[in-house]
Chain A
């Protein structure tokens, strides 16, 4: 059985829950008192992850940490279609890795601003917000041109990749960090497509679409 060391309000944990829901992979949650208990910094948790952060995934004794590494593992192991992490296509794989790196940026800016505003983390919030806007601008342009070329995901594949999921919640919760998405229409349309994926699950602040609303494509 897969066990996910999880905090419900963490974007990086949500990325894993979302992928496992989309892949219909059953798993168990091990709740970690990340906030306010700082359990991830406890000596006991240090035995699970010496870096003291979540998520951590334990798949029958195989332990992997770091959001993007877990996504790579889950997709490679549990997606028989090989589309979420396209290992057979070197160029597509490289672009997936490239956009996974991009998600490190959105996490460290947009999601950091959210931790500052909601939990009082001591970050330079103006720098976080400015950094997020720079990345959102790049993403919006990329997605806008993609729509013209018939590409609806961050990578040039007819199917979404784990890179979409790695970026999605950082963007979808940006308003909790004071980062408006009003200037990024292509990003908003892409978010809507992600929300309409079959099996999509939300988290507090990210709702699944109403059953009646059609996905916006193009």
Chain B
């Protein structure tokens, strides 16, 4: 992990005011301290006598240490460097009793948070990057779908894609139906038809903790219908998928997401991506991006 630099400090209020996960609570044993970085600031967190906490650590050039706000929800300890809203965005499925929720792994990736979001939104890469799992040639076509902004969140609906092995529970190929959601600038989710129960949907989220402009921790949150596989098997599936994405993400140039509408040629599959970039522009986000 690269050392943070002064230039990684975030001055963008929209981004400072968000909640970010720092660590899965299952990976924070009582009394242990986890050291990491958020938006260029060294921070630490832990659980002491059952109470989650987070604070900034002293670093050259800042004003010492201080307690940060915390929320524990969806199995993570969340914090913010600014003035966050009262709660993290809603994931109602989390409370459904027959679901399995877990952190499938928190990976450090040399990319910007918006690049990671955009890659997660892109179905076009499935047959090429996740061959045999989330896609397979010649099923490369991305059919048209709808994108809208509802209450400040991006929703892409009516997405579908042929998947030879859509989840650890899959027993054969299926036409997976997807809904994508961007509930906050650096978090992205998908709702995907469950191989177990076609009436219900698996929920998968990529929760980005921006360490710097060009480095993130990608927390892979799962909330699934699966009463067959062990935790290890479920995590294994998601980790294979994510590890296939990682080199793609790390080789994108530039690592920051260009917000200039003319920067990269849009194709139809990139509809959500166009909306996402425009949304970041309108919010005035200047972290992890190449401003327009």
B246 near A118 with CB under 8 A, answer yes
B107 near A118 with CB under 8 A, answer yes
A-side contacts of B108, CB under 8 Å:
117-120
Minimum C-beta distance from A216 to chain B (A): 21
B-side contacts of A31, CB under 8 Å:
230, 232-233, 235-236
The digit string for B221-247, where 1 denotes a CB below 8 A from any CB of A, is 000000000111101100110011011
A-side contacts of B231, CB under 8 Å:
33, 37
In which size bucket is the chain B interface? 20 to 34
A-side contacts of B235, CB under 8 Å:
31, 33, 36-37
A205 near B103 with CB under 8 A, answer no
- State whether A36 and B105 are in contact (beta carbons under 8 Å apart), knowing that A8-B243, A9-B243, A205-B246 are contacts in the complex: yes
Q: Is B273 an interface residue (CB 8 A)?
A: no
B233 near A204 with CB under 8 A, answer no
B-side contacts of A117, CB under 8 Å:
1, 108, 110
In which size bucket is the chain A interface? 10 to 19
A120 near B243 with CB under 8 A, answer no
The digit string for A184-218, where 1 denotes a CB below 8 A from any CB of B, is 00000000000000000000110000000000000
A-side contacts of B243, CB under 8 Å:
8-9, 204-205
Q: Is A79 an interface residue (CB 8 A)?
A: no
Q: Is A116 an interface residue (CB 8 A)?
A: yes
Q: Is A21 an interface residue (CB 8 A)?
A: no
Interface residues, chain A, with chain B CB atoms under 8 Å away: 7-9, 31-33, 35-37, 39, 116-120, 125, 176, 204-205
Q: Can you name 5 A-B pairs with beta carbons within 8 Å?
A: A8-B236, A32-B232, A37-B232, A204-B243, A204-B244
